[in-house]
Amino acid sequence: MRATVLATALATVLPLALAISTPAPAGEKAPAVERMKVGGVSPEEEAAAEKYFTNTELLDQHGRARHFYDDLLKRRKVLINFAFTACMGACPVMTQNLAKVQEMLRQRGEQVSILTITVDPENDTPAVLKQYATKYKAGPGWSFLTGTPEKVSAVLQLLGGKARQPSEHTAKLLIGDTSTGMWVKTVATESPETIVQLVQHLNDPK
């Protein structure tokens, strides 16, 4: 489904967290892909997108401070998912899957950033996330993000990834291009081939 294009006021936006909520639980078949537009290429739309996504400061696996919109989203194609390192359920499967996606996209010459946001910031420090990234052979351009519980919670909330407990987190995968404002959702356990196809055809006219 399509949402209203961002204009100069944030109030005109169909909130992203609502537009892409209620994903299929881990292990279930991915829902039909929903398409929506959030932001775009005009200065006014870009300013509204920055206001919506915010520049909340998070930390990546190298301990670097990263402003969420300016450093991680602005004018990029991105994949965003939610996980935590102590997860014994879907997280290892999702992370292995996204590692395959990243390699396939690299082979196709696609410049795409991957953002994995922890749902357990109290335990997932940058050092812990770095070990996790190394374990799954995450390549350049893949950021594993943490921060204070308050800041992480704020970002999870706006993306529809907040959970009462880490073990209850969503398997949602958000795929977006902030240079065009187009976003789709699926699940991070979807086949790598399907995810790659969604990335490559994200901006196709419909």
Residue numbering of the annotated binding site: 87, 91
- Alpha helices for 31-80 (secondary structure H): 43-53
**pLDDT tens, residue by residue, 149-177:** 999 999 999 999 999 999 999 999 999 99
pTM given for the model: 0.83
**pLDDT tens, residue by residue, 66-94:** 999 999 999 999 999 999 999 999 999 99
CATH architecture label of 15-200: 3-Layer(aba) Sandwich (3.40)
pLDDT at 23 over 50: no
- Report whether 96 contacts 191 (CB < 8 A): no
Confidence (pLDDT) at 15:
40
Q: Write the CB contacts of 32 (distance below 8 Å, at least 6 apart in sequence).
A: none
Say which residue the tokens 């907040």 belong to.
162
Q: What is the mean pLDDT of the chain?
A: 84
Separation CA 106–CA 10 (nearest Å): 35
pLDDT at 5 over 50: no
**pLDDT tens, residue by residue, 87-139:** 999 999 999 999 999 999 999 999 999 999 999 999 999 999 999 999 999 99
Mean pLDDT along residues 172-183? 94
Residue numbering of the annotated binding site for Cu cation: 87, 91
